[in-house]
Chain A
Amino acid sequence: MDKTLFRSILPYIAGLAIASGLYWYATMIEYTPRPGSLGPGAWPKLAILLLAASCLFEIVRRIIVGNRDATGLIEAFEREEEEPVQKTPVYPRMLIGGIVLMAIYAVLLPYLGFIFGTFLFLVAFMYVGGFWRHGTVWLTSTVVTLLTGILFLRIAYVSLPRGVEPFAMATDVFFKIPSLW
């Protein structure tokens, strides 16, 4: 099989495998059966079947069409693609850096608290995003953290992680600001 073709059908093969796994899982759902009832697995099974059928259809369609132009009924399933976008260079390292940074944020947030953790996240994300104007990075991070803290902790009263000592002090400072209501 053509390498490009195989690469293009790979997501659908994965989808089909996931659908099979989920279907099996749906048959194992434990419940107390009532006569004439479809059971809790009926609805998810329909969605899984639709998922599997769509994956299977796309695999078959791509195998039949291959690298040739589609004809007849098969062609009808190829809808107009969106406007071709200009090719821009991609930076996978930046992307991975961003995802890793978000994961680190999620791990450290219970310890650092929202205020301190978010401030550090903002600074780090701007650097990861290739923005190196140090003054702007630190200043905007400070302003955004302060505004967010006031807006959500003192105005909207959203419950956000306080963190552990000594970082919790940063959150506690906001609770000393008089509230609007």
Chain B
Amino acid sequence: MTDILIQLTHGFVACLSPVHLTLLFFGIVIGLLIGVLPGLTLVMGVALALPFTYQMDVTASIILLGAMYVSGTYGGAFTAILFKIPGEPIDVPMLWDGYTMGRKGKPAKALGWTLVAALGGGLLSAIVMVALTEPLAKFALSFSSPEYFVIVMFGLLSVVAIGKGSLANAFISMSVGILISAVGVDPIYGAPRFTFGSPILADGIEFLVVMVGAYGVGEVLTRLETGFATQPIEKIKNARTELPTWKELKEVKGMFFRSSVVGDLIGLLPGAGATIASFVSYGIEARFGKRRKEMGTGVAEGVIAPQAAATASVGGALVHLLALGIPGSGATAVMLGAFMLHGIQPGPQVLVTSAPMVYTIFASIFLGLFLMCAIGYLAIKPLIKILDFPEAVVSAYVLTLCFIGALSIRNNITDLWLIIAFGVIGYGFERLKFPIAPLVLGVILGPIAEDNFMNTMISFSNDWTVFFTRPISGTIVAFTVIVLLLPFIQKLRAHYLATA
């Protein structure tokens, strides 16, 4: 424990360097702006920022992306409370009580509750993140290729299982992602796969191209099809934040803690993320909370529950990204990409080889939370000014960033074509209700899964039962099956109870 605290102190010192502080500040501001803008999602924003990090060292790039991730869970609350526009899907539950509280003449109070919830939930999750990462990483050091393979598959299949819509579509999306990642020269045999004779495809398809194309270009095309139809926004003259009193805080401390723990636990589940945390936490308060009957009428609990859980999920998601190398959400998948761009594979070894970097990232999350609240408190008026920009202008700029992202990989026009192609594919997926998250995760995790699968097959003479017979991998396989089957069992049970 003392060792962790010493390392964390070193992390704070490193984080206070001018470069890191500047990046933290910009990350927070950009994350808040992304949260405020309804057309830009958190994952898309983090993905768009990835090309900017090429020239940075890995610590600086993760500080920037981490700051965006944390503050992106908070910025959308402004527009949800003031204008009934959820900047992010995370903020939908904020409409039910946050906006209602605003309509009752207390928007400043609602914003104050949001700020406290984001800070409290975020800090708790940051503490959990620091406490859990090292023990989990130490435990993971005993893993071999079969364990890694099943963990990666657990991460992939959790994303498939937890999402909404058709399960088959999610599987199709994941398979396509894995297939895209298989394009290029095979790492074990050196044989070209699915290159169709093209030299550029022999290098493989960069995950950045798929990610930025599907999320960035695809989203712009989806919105272009609707003619950038956004509802007109009423002008708010006096947007400000009013912090709750100690007495008010004491009254909600129990549910505050509960919501933060729920967010953290959900963040720890691969594939879940801030949106699910926000909805589940609100649902728990609406069902079991002290003032459950008043939920939806503009009560503080309805604002605290989703916000605290959403921000708290960040720490949980970062735990298994750093300790196991498995991203728990879309945004952490992009962060995994940033690590890989700099030749670092997160996982148990990262705390052995790059502990100062990991603790600097931890420290940046703590500092980022305070900075986020300070900026959110002081700069709410200029932040929501961004809503005055026409969507066509913002989208044109987003596309420019996507194109720069493509060109910055290897200054090759083929990547630009690929990003446009994946944009169209992303739009098609959205239109046909195929989820994009499994596609992107498939592209990122596919090579890791393949490496571990092939190594297992070579080491264990093609005996595939090894995944089930080894204690740790067998347990993870059982968990995976439970995660996949649970929604069906619940639905079947509900069906038979209803018909009985």
Contact A40 to B413, CB < 8 A, known contacts A25-B194, A76-B488: no
Contact of A75 among B54, B392, B491 (CB under 8 A): B491
Q: By CB atoms of chain A within 10 A, which of B54, B175, B391 has the most?
A: B175
Asked if A17 CB lies within 8 Å of chain B CBs, one says no
B165 partner residues in chain A, CB cutoff 8 A: 79, 81-82
B-side interface mostly: helix
Does chain B have a CB within 8 A of A157? yes
Q: How far, in Å, is A155 (CB) from chain B's closest CB?
A: 9
Taking the complex as formed, is A112 at the interface, i.e. its CB lies under 8 A from any CB of chain B?
no
Stretch of B132-140, B223-231, B282-290 with 4 or more beta carbons under 8 angstroms from chain A: B223-231
Instruction: Contact check, A125 vs B172: say whether CB atoms are below 8 A apart.
Output: no
- What is the bound-complex CA distance between A152 and B393, given in angstroms? 20
Question: Does B370 reach chain A (CB closer than 8 Å)?
Answer: no
Known interface pairs A44-B179, A94-B225, A94-B227. Does A57 touch B55 (Cβ–Cβ under 8 Å)? no
Q: Determine whether the beta carbon of A31 is less than 8 Å from that of B164.
A: no
Partner pick for A159 among B167, B193, B229, B411, CB 8 A cutoff: B411
Interface of B toward A, CB cutoff 8 Å? 51-52, 54-55, 92, 164-169, 171-172, 174-176, 178-179, 182, 186, 188-194, 217, 220-221, 224-229, 390-393, 395-397, 399-400, 403-404, 407-408, 411, 413, 416-417, 420, 423-424, 427, 432, 446, 450, 453-454, 457-458, 461-462, 487-488, 491-492, 495
Contacts known (A51-B172, A159-B408); A106 close to B417, Cβ less than 8 A: yes
Q: Nearest 7 CB-CB pairs, A to B?
A: A129-B392, A131-B392, A40-B186, A51-B175, A31-B191, A58-B168, A54-B171
Interface string of A89-113 (1 = CB under 8 A from B): 1111011001100110110011000
| Contact between B396 and A126, CB atoms less than 8 A apart | yes
Given contacts A43-B182, A91-B227, contact A79 B411 (CB under 8 A): no
- Within the complex, what minimum Cβ distance (angstroms) separates A58 from chain B? 4
**Smallest CB–CB gap between A109 and chain B, Å?**
6
**Is A79 within 8 A of B487, CB to CB?**
yes
Bound-state CA distance A122–B220 (Å) is 14
The verdict on A31 contacting B227 (CB below 8 Å), with A11-B432, A51-B179, A118-B403 known, is no
Which single residue of chain A is at the shortest CB-CB distance from B178?
A47
Please report the C-alpha to C-alpha distance between residue A109 and residue B432 in the assembled complex, in whole angstroms: 31
Does B168 contact A109, Cβ atoms closer than 8 Å?
no
Q: Are A51 and B189 closer than 8 Å at their CB atoms?
A: no
Q: Among residues 11 to 41 in chain A, which have CB atoms less than 8 Å away from a CB atom of chain B?
A: 11-12, 15, 22, 25-26, 29-32, 36-41
A105 to B424, CA, bound (A): 15
CB distance from B302 to the nearest CB of A (A): 17
Query: 16 more A-B contacts (CB under 8 A) besides A48-B175, A157-B55, A158-B408?
Result: A22-B194, A40-B193, A43-B454, A44-B182, A58-B166, A73-B492, A75-B491, A77-B168, A79-B165, A79-B167, A88-B226, A105-B403, A121-B400, A131-B390, A144-B396, A160-B407
Q: Which of B54, B227, B399 contacts A130 (CB 8 A)?
A: B227
Q: Are B226 and A91 in contact (CB under 8 A)?
A: yes
Assembled-state Cα–Cα distance A34/B466 (Å): 22
With a cutoff of 8 Å between Cβ atoms, the chain B residues found around residue A40 in the complex are: 186, 188-189, 191, 193
Closest B residue to A33 by beta carbon equals B189
- Which A residue sits closest to B442, measured CB to CB? A47
Whether A78 sits at the interface, judged by CB under 8 Å, is: yes
User: Which residue of chain B is the closest to A82 with respect to CB atoms?
Assistant: B164
| Residue A179 at the chain B interface, CB threshold 8 Å | no
At the interface, is chain A mostly helix, strand, loop or mixed? helix
A50 touches B (CB below 8 Å) = yes
- A57 close to B193 (CB less than 8 A): no
Q: What is the CA–CA distance of A122 and B396 in the complex, to the nearest angstrom?
A: 6
Q: How far is the CA of A89 from the CA of B227 in the complex (A)?
A: 8
A165 contacts B by Cβ under 8 Å: no
Contact A37 B458 (CB under 8 A): yes
List of A residues within 8 angstroms of B399 by Cβ: 102, 121, 125
A48 to chain B, nearest CB (A): 7
Asked if A164 CB lies within 8 Å of chain B CBs, one says no
Complex Cα distance, B302 from A101, in Å, reads 45
- Which residues of chain B come closer than 8 Å to A81, judged between CB atoms? 164-165
> Are A38 and B457 within 8 A (Cβ)?
yes
> CA of A79 to CA of B484 in the docked complex: distance in angstroms?
12
Are B400 and A102 neighbours in the complex by a CB distance under 8 Å? no
CA distance A50 to B168 in the complex (A): 10
Across the interface, A161 reaches (CB within 8 A) one of B189, B193, B407, namely B407
A77 to B193, CA, bound (A): 34
**A32 x B189 contact (CB < 8 A):** yes
Tell me which residues across on chain B come within 8 A of A31, comparing CB atoms.
Answer: 186, 189-191
Residues on A with C-beta less than 8 A from B172 are 15, 51, 54-55, 58
Task: State A29–B400 Cα separation when bound (angstroms).
Answer: 38
A125 to B392 CA separation, bound complex (whole angstroms): 8
- Whether A102 touches B423, Cβ cut-off 8 Å, given contacts A37-B458, A95-B225, A109-B413, is yes
Q: With A and B bound together, what is the CA distance between A32 and B188 in angstroms?
A: 11
User: Nearest chain-A residue to B390 (Cβ)?
Assistant: A131
**Is there an interface contact between B407 and A114, defined as CB atoms closer than 8 Å?**
yes
Partner of A160, one of B228, B404, B423, B432: B404
Q: How far is the CB of B53 from chain A (nearest CB, A)?
A: 9
In the bound complex, CA of A156 to CA of B55 (Å): 6
